[in-house]
Amino acid sequence: MSDDFLLTGALTHGELTNKETWIEHAFHGFDCKSYSIDSIKVRVYGNTALLNLWWRQVATINGKDWSGNSLLTDVWVEKNGEWQVVGRATTPLAQK
């Protein structure tokens, strides 16, 4: 994860979450019971890659249900010979 990582997601109101805040939330209050990846698509353009991932989880954040299906879109950049995620957006998907 790049030091300049930014996330926008379903639990925000348009604000961006930086690396430090994302890590804090991931390790405090997040309880994931199950997680599965349904599909993944990766496209590489030189030293940049775009990843689309369809996933589902059963989880809570600070006791509030955060289960469901989502689309995750990542932007990865090769920096100093290592691939690092620099941006992420998550979008909840309607149940079928």
Question: Among 35, 73, 41, which residue's Cα sits nearest to residue 55?
Answer: 35
Query: 24-80: per-residue pLDDT in tens?
Result: 877 888 888 999 999 999 999 999 999 999 999 999 888 888 888 989 999 999 999
pLDDT score for 23: 87
pLDDT at 2 over 80: yes
- Which domains does the chain carry? 6-93 (3.10.450.50)
pLDDT score for 95: 66
The residue-averaged pLDDT of 12-32 equals 83
- 10, 74, 42, 3: CA torsion to nearest 10: -160
pLDDT at 8 over 80: yes
